[in-house]
Structure 1
Amino acid sequence: MSSSGPARARTRIRSNISEKTETWLSPDATHPTLTELERICREEWEKMPQNRCAKLTERYPRRLETVIAAKALKQDIARKHKEALLSCKSHNLALLKTNQLGEQEALEIRVREEQRMMDKKIVSEIDQKVTDQQNTLEKAGVPGFYITANPQELTMQMNLLELILKLQQKESQSGFI
């Protein structure tokens, strides 16, 4: 009966979506205009601490620096290993190769773990930003927006945002703003 948990969760999600859709489509529902939506988004953007965006964007160059530093370290170790092999006596060669292989594997593990942790932190920060945006748009009454981590629902929300931006561009080109 372990599938009853996920099945209940799917039913709850479908029910939640249906309730939200009914609310959005009701004749009494009020939806923001594109101008109101833009104003709300700008207000929320201005409320956001300046360093929050800076933190999000500064992590990526650090990630690249980590990758470059790891590559340089690997090249340095390879050079040292090559020099050691050239100066090694033949009776110590097997032991040296074993030690070098262990050193390379340990480096690979350390580099992968550092990169994984950095990637995890970046993804966590981006996820938080997405949640903040969903929350803002839901509070603004924009149909289709609510806090979710479901990939299909996130795709739908991204498509809705793209549509809103296109409508906003058309509206501004027409001079209706």
Structure 2
Amino acid sequence: MTVHMIWAEAHDRVVGANGAIPWRLSEDQRMFRERTGGATVVMGRATWDSLPERFRPLPGRRNVVLTRDPSWSAEGAEVVHSVEEVDLTGEVWVIGGEAVYTAFLPLADHLLRTRVDLAVSGDTYAPELGDGWVVTSSSGWQTSQSGLRYVVEELVRTGQAAQPGQTAVAG
């Protein structure tokens, strides 16, 4: 079992503002589609609500929505009310938001993180990773079609597949 997490973050770990992502990075969106296609995606209800209606449920994926509301339902969503209810067999990608990332972080083995070189106000944040994570690959800084600078990093927990020379990551 591998629990993957995927997010894009601006400076200060900002991943969202007012129910939306406060930037547009088509390269990151394309990578998200490629990496999560055919897998289970786990998200909170607010993340589900933030998706454009035409993309709900996310096509080509099993959509699991974690919510505290026992009466909530949506067509195409498999509703769960706790982390323990999520079937973690197969390929599972946790896609947000903040509380869901935090809840699944202890179970995660792998993180695909896009860091966007942008200072922006936000109200939703990526979790602090702390010690124990290493960068296993990095795209190096690139400039998107929109002009934003970004870097894509793959991280794993120490001991999961760390190779000599990899950089330890704090927060």
TM-score normalized with structure 1 length:
0.21
Q: Which has the higher helix share?
A: 1
The structure number with the bigger radius of gyration is 1
Higher strand share: 2
